[in-house]
Amino acid sequence: MNNLGNFLTLSTFGESHGIAYGGIITNFPAGIEINFEEIQHQLDRRKPGQSAIVTQRKESDTVQFLSGTFEGKSTGTPIGFVIYNENQKSKDYDHIKNNYRPSHADFTYDQKFGIRDHRGGGKSSARETINWVAAGALAKHILPKNVEISAYVSSVGEIFCEKPYQDLDFSKIDDNDVRCPDAETAEKMIAKIKEIKKEGNTIGGTITCVIKNLPVGIGEPIFLKLQAELGKAMMNINAAKGFEYGSGFCGAKMTGKEHNDLFNEDFTTKTNLSGGIQGGISNGMDIYFRVAFKPIATLLRPQESFDKNGNPIIVEGKGRHDPCVLPRAVPVVENLAAFVLADLFLMNQIRKV
Amino acid sequence: MNNLGNFLTLSTFGESHGIAYGGIITNFPAGIEINFEEIQHQLDRRKPGQSAIVTQRKESDTVQFLSGTFEGKSTGTPIGFVIYNENQKSKDYDHIKNNYRPSHADFTYDQKFGIRDHRGGGKSSARETINWVAAGALAKHILPKNVEISAYVSSVGEIFCEKPYQDLDFSKIDDNDVRCPDAETAEKMIAKIKEIKKEGNTIGGTITCVIKNLPVGIGEPIFLKLQAELGKAMMNINAAKGFEYGSGFCGAKMTGKEHNDLFNEDFTTKTNLSGGIQGGISNGMDIYFRVAFKPIATLLRPQESFDKNGNPIIVEGKGRHDPCVLPRAVPVVENLAAFVLADLFLMNQIRKV
Amino acid sequence: MNNLGNFLTLSTFGESHGIAYGGIITNFPAGIEINFEEIQHQLDRRKPGQSAIVTQRKESDTVQFLSGTFEGKSTGTPIGFVIYNENQKSKDYDHIKNNYRPSHADFTYDQKFGIRDHRGGGKSSARETINWVAAGALAKHILPKNVEISAYVSSVGEIFCEKPYQDLDFSKIDDNDVRCPDAETAEKMIAKIKEIKKEGNTIGGTITCVIKNLPVGIGEPIFLKLQAELGKAMMNINAAKGFEYGSGFCGAKMTGKEHNDLFNEDFTTKTNLSGGIQGGISNGMDIYFRVAFKPIATLLRPQESFDKNGNPIIVEGKGRHDPCVLPRAVPVVENLAAFVLADLFLMNQIRKV
Amino acid sequence: MNNLGNFLTLSTFGESHGIAYGGIITNFPAGIEINFEEIQHQLDRRKPGQSAIVTQRKESDTVQFLSGTFEGKSTGTPIGFVIYNENQKSKDYDHIKNNYRPSHADFTYDQKFGIRDHRGGGKSSARETINWVAAGALAKHILPKNVEISAYVSSVGEIFCEKPYQDLDFSKIDDNDVRCPDAETAEKMIAKIKEIKKEGNTIGGTITCVIKNLPVGIGEPIFLKLQAELGKAMMNINAAKGFEYGSGFCGAKMTGKEHNDLFNEDFTTKTNLSGGIQGGISNGMDIYFRVAFKPIATLLRPQESFDKNGNPIIVEGKGRHDPCVLPRAVPVVENLAAFVLADLFLMNQIRKV
């Protein structure tokens, strides 16, 4: 229920300025050799403080696995992990204890639960995604080795990476701070983020994700369609506002004659407006989707608002905040996708006798 | 797992040319008076044959409730329902038994399951959504009476309803065959669909849905965020290619200063780019989202393809098919949204002591 | 949640004197040839009216499968089934509409739901088990062909079948009306039930179930231990009061030295007090368990009770009731066990790489 | 799936000689003041080393709550906890790395997973129940304050506490090492365990649990019957071999006339053979059940067995083991019952409008 995944499941906990984050993964198959360094590497890609265009909160974000592996391999039993918070500065948030920041979850949490851990947004902080990166990087071990999942920043504000994904070299995604593999566009994006940051402002953008070499057959006919499971996962990311796959919203303008993907003799398709999925099930072609992210709501500049009693106040973010969520969201999208795929991959193993 | 909903759950069955569709709803609260006519009315809105721009398959789509109600009220026990197929024409599909239609699920089902009910697409048919309309129309009874869920066709191909939803009169949605409440735009859309139909072609479009008067507090912090549950449900609809809520993909171009919704003294907000949701939880403002639909893949004109053995063939749809999924998808979107909201509404009832 | 099974799931509906019973099974693998006659045969074993010692309600209990199979084989998509009630006699129950029968669920349903379908006990009727027999008989197709599940009546009141199960010929279970394979004991049991019936009384008893040839490895380490899943399923049967497996309550009197099962060289064990399960996982030896059933609460003789307003009344069962639940519970136990095993069998398919 | 609970859920991890145990509880309502000392007290009751008749492994078993509470109260978000192992002695288990101990899970784990953390039984160790005690003691906070859950040792081997539970003073349960509230019987039980221990042997027994003041209406009609959920939980405890409630196996010998519980005018019942449950739903009377535990399989004396290659060996437990599981299982039964009740209690909150 409050899990990610259906057969392979992830349960998580943690608040931004609490003691720790962590999670439990169940139904992970036995006998898989785990590359713990690769998992930590994925967390490092998401870590604060890694460049000038992200928050300077100091966290090592070191994940410790507490169970479920033995002598480097999975044992088939639940895998628990924990990531301790190190740089809690609860005092930084005293000023928002009774205040409602615009476009934050302060008001809705208070209304829903009648109580709120206000420190750094508590449970509503995007720091929760640290759990998803750890779990997704682990889940990726379940997929066939040749499955490649590559996400990159495809737009920042009005600056778009206009090359189709086929023309990009995904090995260059991490070559720059913004994680756009097209160097020229990346430079413009970085300049834009720096400019926005200087104003104490923030900016939105999109991430594109491409999945190559996924076997045919992944996804289930109803309620667990591959695109629905990917969409659900992505729409749970904190600032996500939209999801599209294949032709997406553009496809809604087309006719069937334009949109249908004709087959080749080997059952690959000549075009791929379908985005690698038919009837909710992978067809062996590339899967690609795009996620829209709004600008982060915390501004380092004054905004008018109200406290919980309805008194007018001025709120102003202090200290350590991201001007743009995109660069750090790239590993979140990738690893979250890995988790979704691993879950559906396992289910597909027992679909026919 | 293969259910819709988390606490309130829907399990379904049925194939396009099988004996029947149906479903079971669990955890529906006791003591609710059911308006069975309203449920049938929603099914009638989705029914084939209701106008010149939809498929002419003849089905009464009569739902029978088999359990879980007594003397007109819910009893708190599982509610089973069934909708018998009446107009099966299995023979119409003999020609596709061994053929793979472009952009259909024939190939992926065969690969995944090793067996396929080919008649009318079998399980992959959008006729499955009949179950969702029945269940959603029932689930709507759980929500407070003043909650309004209104979906309408906001674009067909390149023809957009350019008025913001606030300027539309939702009581007029069913006044025309295409279900766009703006009469002038509707006329253009209908003309376009007729033109496309004449060519044996199909066309895509978008549906916008607006939810008014939803109480504050609906949705859960992680993995069951309101937008993620809505997105998941919508992305399960057969031709859906994208989902966005609030500012959506446009919001990705904006800055925080532009995008943040400032509060009024009563905690409504001056703007609503957030789309009525903060931190995954409803904030009392209107919720609005948009779903992109691709053009239907079945064309009444020849297309090149292959049979399952890789021999080149010509496929051509015959008989009864929709040139545009939009008009009949409107009640699907509305009632599916109702189910999602009812599920999260119930969960929220026990979030605080 | 309100399902049986974890991966393979059964959702059910129906009330004793409603329109129909039925269910939906999800995640049933594709490509399995279904023996529909065998499923109906299991339902016939549970049917009312089959002998002088069971209720004379007239029901054909014919199951219709509505989806999920094609040309005799499973398609991997949800399997819906329905069993219409034919012999509803709602009027027979008018006298209990406002009355609470001793040791029935009339009072608890009214308190819990505030509404109650009183006809024949409504949802609380053991007629619900018809769904479990249909689903279990279907699920049995998933297990290896040589798995044998045999239940029999091992006691009625104080009359016990004293032979160990190893000395019984399970092919004789259906040879007599009470379903005890020991002819001599069966005779005594039948005589006892007839005597009890004449008094308008009822009597309890136990059913023993033996599972042979289950592969090693079925069951999960925590929360899905094989004995826990079997126990849960059995304790859901309407009159069940107890469950034990292997040495059971007797084992609680023993010492470790007496109780431990020493291995043979081939990892079979010399004794089998463990009942074929170690650590929640099958070890290849016979699994055996015993279920205790209380006497049915409906007596065909007057009992003092109260109506819902607290007025003293006399209640007396009328018409068609079982004097002893045991003979008809045998196929319920067997097929319910089959469902549990099939569910865990599927899960075990993906426990190691 | 691998969770305890249905709405309120517990996911757990940990191995006997791994780094830590822990768990995550979801859907715990907000605003409940948590008595952390009481939770630790329950863990202390289960702790090794607390008396002469239990294992002398040294563990403080200190639980740390890592999230989900704020200023002493629950926040409605997931509650994570961890209990670090302190006294791992992996070397103690080198001798069983390749050996299969009689009536242990060594063989079944190896077969199921192809890999096994052999140290102290790894995942198959009853040390997992530490998680259940922590989670159950927390869940108890959800129940009305006057609900009392009292478990006690009702037999050790052939020594039975012959007084009915109504004649026992539950405040005396912890007054002696064996946790039987009848001092005289307790003395005999303790003497028996000491005698058995001296022989390097072990002994089984039973625990009885009584629940007082549970509101009417707890439990669901099908698949979540109160007795089935309790039975499932209890049968997951490591050495449990049987479960019965109310009249239990004795009830199977009775007639309906003897067994039916006649009502009083206030809808209490004159007798309570039903054990406080009708139709799977609590009726306001005491709920009582009994769990059978086999003798622990680890003997401190030589036993013949085989290694994984089929070579004959002698196994002999060393060091720190319980001669009898009962005294430490008492808080496990109590707190596990609390979790089950809290889960069903929450679900019942939304059963009627």
Does B318 show up as a binding residue in the annotation? Answer: no
Per-residue pLDDT reduced to its tens digit, B55-90 = 888 889 999 999 999 999 999 999 999 999 998 777
Q: Which residue of A has its CA nearest to B219?
A: A112
Strand partners, D205: D156, D293
Where does the pLDDT of residue B153 fall: very low under 50, low under 70, confident under 90, or very high at 90 and above?
A: very high
Token look-up 């080749």 returns: A264
Q: Closest to B31 (Cβ–Cβ): which among D221, D349, D352?
A: D352
**For the segment B284-320, what is each residue's pLDDT rounded down to a tens digit?**
999 999 999 999 999 999 999 999 999 999 999 877 7
Assess contact for C262 and D305: CB atoms under 8 A: yes
Mean pLDDT comparison of A94-108, C54-68, D238-252, highest-scoring range: D238-252
Buried b (16+ CB within 10 A) or exposed e, D236-267: bbbbbbbbbbbbbbbbbbbbbbebbbebeeeb
Structure tokens at D255: 């007639």
- Measured over the CA atoms of residue C3, residue C5, residue C7 and residue C8, the dihedral's sign is negative
Query: What is the per-residue pLDDT for C2?
Result: 81
Q: What is the pLDDT of residues D21-37, one digit of tens each?
A: 999 999 999 999 999 99
Mean pLDDT calculated for residue range A332-340: 98
* B322 part of contact set with chain A, CB < 8 Å: no
Whether residue A5 has pLDDT greater than 90: yes
Residues A299-306: what's their mean pLDDT?
95
Tell me which chain C residues have a C-beta less than 8 angstroms from the C-beta of D227: 235, 240
| Residue B194 exposed, middle or buried by CB count within 10 Å (0-12, 13-18, 19+) | middle
Query: Percent of chain A scored above 90 by pLDDT?
Result: 90
Q: Smallest Cα–Cα separation from D262: which of C200, C201, C303?
A: C303
pLDDT tier, D1 (very low <50, low <70, confident <90, very high otherwise): confident
Please give the sequence-ordered ranges of beta strands (E in DSSP) within A128-270, or none if there are none: 148-156, 159-160, 205-212, 240-245
Q: What is the share, in percent, of chain B residues with pLDDT greater than 70?
A: 100
Report the phi/psi class of residue A265: left, alpha or beta, with left for phi > 0 and alpha for psi in -120 to 50: alpha
Q: Which of A199-208, A217-226, A288-297, D310-319 has the lowest average pLDDT?
A: D310-319
pLDDT tens for C15-55 read 999 999 999 999 999 999 999 999 999 999 999 989 988 88
Q: Which residues of C23-32 are buried (b: 16+ CB within 10 A; e: fewer)?
A: bbbbbbbbeb
Q: For residue B351, give the nearest of D30, D78, D351 by CB distance.
A: D30
Q: How far D27 CA sits from the closest chain B CA (Å)?
A: 7
Q: Is D157 on the interface with B (CB under 8 A)?
A: no
Among chain C residues, the shortest Cα distance to D309 is held by C265
Choice among C96-110, C236-250, D44-58, D140-154 with the minimum mean pLDDT: D44-58
What whole-number distance in Å separates Cα of residue A317 and Cα of residue C48?
73
What is the mean pLDDT of the segment spanning D187-200?
97
Q: B135 pLDDT exceeds 80?
A: yes
What is the pLDDT, as a whole number, of residue A171? Answer: 98
Q: Which residue has the tokens 């004996």?
A: B19
**Chains linked to A by 3 or more Cβ pairs within 8 Å:** B, C, D
Tokens of B315: 């496929």
Q: Please tell me which of the candidates A26, A66, A115 has its beta carbon nearest to residue D11.
A: A26
Structure confidence at residue D112 (pLDDT):
97
Question: How much is the average pLDDT of A328-339?
Answer: 98
Supply the mean pLDDT for chain B.
Answer: 96
What is the structure's pLDDT at C96? Answer: 81
Look up residue D27 and give its amino acid. N
Residue B333's pLDDT is 98
Cα separation, D67 vs D65, whole angstroms = 6
Largest CA distance in chain D: 69
> Does position D255 have pLDDT exceeding 80, yes or no?
yes
User: Smallest Cα–Cα separation from C14: which of B13, B31, B14, B68?
Assistant: B68
Mean pLDDT of chain A: 96
Q: In terms of Cα–Cα distance, which of D284, D297, D286, D257 is closest to D105?
A: D297
Vertex D225, ends D223 and D228: CA angle to 5°? Answer: 85
What confidence category does residue A96 fall into, taking pLDDT thresholds of 50, 70 and 90? confident
Q: State residue B92's pLDDT score.
A: 73
The pLDDT assigned to C55 comes to: 87
Q: Given C20, C67, C70, which is nearest B66 (Cβ)?
A: C20
Is B101 marked as binding a ligand?
A: no
Domain ranges of chain B: 9-348
CA distance C32 to B114: 11
Q: Round to whole Å and give the CA distance between C330 and B240.
A: 48
Tokens 């090794």 appear where?
Answer: D48
Given an 8 Å threshold on Cβ–Cβ distance, is C76 in contact with A352?
yes
What confidence category does residue C215 fall into, taking pLDDT thresholds of 50, 70 and 90? very high
For residue B76, what is the nearest residue in chain C, using CA coordinates? C113
Instruction: Specify the pTM.
Output: 0.97
The whole-chain average pLDDT of chain D stands at 96
- CA-based nearest residue in chain D for residue C309: D265
Chain segment C221-241, per-residue pLDDT in tens? 999 999 999 999 999 999 999
Q: What is the pLDDT of residue C56?
A: 85
Count other C-beta atoms under 10 Å from residue A310's C-beta.
12
Structure tokens at D247: 């009249």
Q: Which residue type occupies D71?
A: E
Q: Which of D11, D100, D111, D112 to mutate to test the interface with C (most CBs of C within 10 A)?
A: D112
Mean per-residue pLDDT, D254-275 = 98
Annotated binding site of C for NADP(+): 46
**How high is the pLDDT of residue C352?**
86
Q: How far is B28 from chain C (nearest CA, A)?
A: 11
How confident is the model over B150-170, as a mean pLDDT?
98
Across the interface, which of A14, A18, A75 has its CB nearest the CB of D117?
A75
From chain B, the residues in CB contact with D351 under 8 A are 29-30, 76
Q: Residue C200: its pLDDT value, please?
A: 95
Using alpha carbons, select from C123, B231, B147 the residue that is nearest to residue D225.
C123
Question: Which band of pLDDT confidence, cut at 50, 70 and 90, is reported for residue A285?
Answer: very high
Q: Which amino acid is at B78?
A: P
Q: Is D114 annotated as a binding residue?
A: no
Residue A92 confidence (pLDDT) above 80? no
User: Measured between CA atoms, how close is C50 to chain D, in angstroms?
Assistant: 22
With cut-offs at 50, 70 and 90, classify the pLDDT of residue D95.
confident
Element (H, E) at A225: none
Q: Is residue B96 predicted with pLDDT exceeding 90?
A: no
pLDDT at D57: 83
A74 DSSP β-pair partners: A69
- The DSSP 8-state label assigned to residue D111 in this structure reads H
In chain C, alpha helices (H)? 36-46, 106-113, 129-139, 183-198, 226-235, 248-251, 256-259, 326-348
Q: Is residue B129 helix, strand or coil?
A: helix
DSSP string computed for C67-101? SSEETTEE-SS-EEEEEE-----GGGGGGGTTEE-
CATH of domain C9-348: 3.60.150.10
